[in-house]
Amino acid sequence: MSALPAAVLFDLDGTLVDTEPSWMAAEQALARAHGGQWSLEQAVSCIGNPIPVTAGRLRDEGGVRLPVEEVVDSLLDTVVAVVRATVPWQPGARELAASLKAAGVPLALVTMSYRRLADAVVADLPAATFSAVVTGDEVRNGKPHPEPYLAAADQLGVDPGDCVVVEDSPAGIASGLAAGATVVAVPHVAPLPDDRAVTVVASLVDLDAAVLADLVRERRVTRS
């Protein structure tokens, strides 16, 4: 097996947990409550973006007559309640995280969701599963900007070019690539870009330490 990645940096919503339907339902319900409309296409187009961006669009396009901060809080309240009831883990998510930790690979959670949602998910895992957690309310620039993944690599003390990013959205993929990481995409709700720099797998079940190590090695060869 090739040398292991310096770290694996995971997106949250849609990648590790199947919360995208909850987000979209919360957005549509809020728009209806204000007499507005919010289509499935609009909801999908917001996947992976910072929550205030979605909240601003709900106000401007969906007829939600609330300040952006209140829209953010309403959406978070709904999704956090879902997660606290039962964390909807994606197939293979818990097993992949456990196997990577057992192999000595540091893990980071990098999400545009806010800290209170990330904490609700992390609480369902063994202690210290993630050595770093970067959330949307703790960065200046959200995805697709590289800052979230660069911040995670910095917290772990590793070179982002030696890391693997696991994502499910165009914004997250763009963020990981801009940070210089090897990016693996797991299709979920949002259509993914056709980019040869991205490895697409059907499920987290298809990933393990050996597969990720080989991907990092192949990317190093391509860059050299």
Residue closest to 44 by CA, chosen among 20, 68, 15: 20
Residue recorded with tokens 């298809």: 206
9, burial (CB in 10 Å: exposed 0-12, middle 13-18, buried 19+): buried
Instruction: Considering only the C-alpha atoms of the chain, give the largest distance between any 2 of them, rounded to a whole number of Å.
Output: 57
Q: Is 73 a catalytic residue?
A: no
Which candidate in 11, 162, 168, 214 is catalytic? 11
Residue recorded with tokens 């409309």: 37
Q: Is 13 a catalytic residue?
A: yes
DSSP label at residue 108: E
Which tokens is 176 given? 């990981």
Residue closest to 83 by CA, chosen among 120, 40, 56, 33: 120
From residue 77, give the alpha-carbon distance in Å to each of 83, 89, 102, 139, 166: 10, 19, 34, 21, 26
| Residues tagged active-site | 11, 13
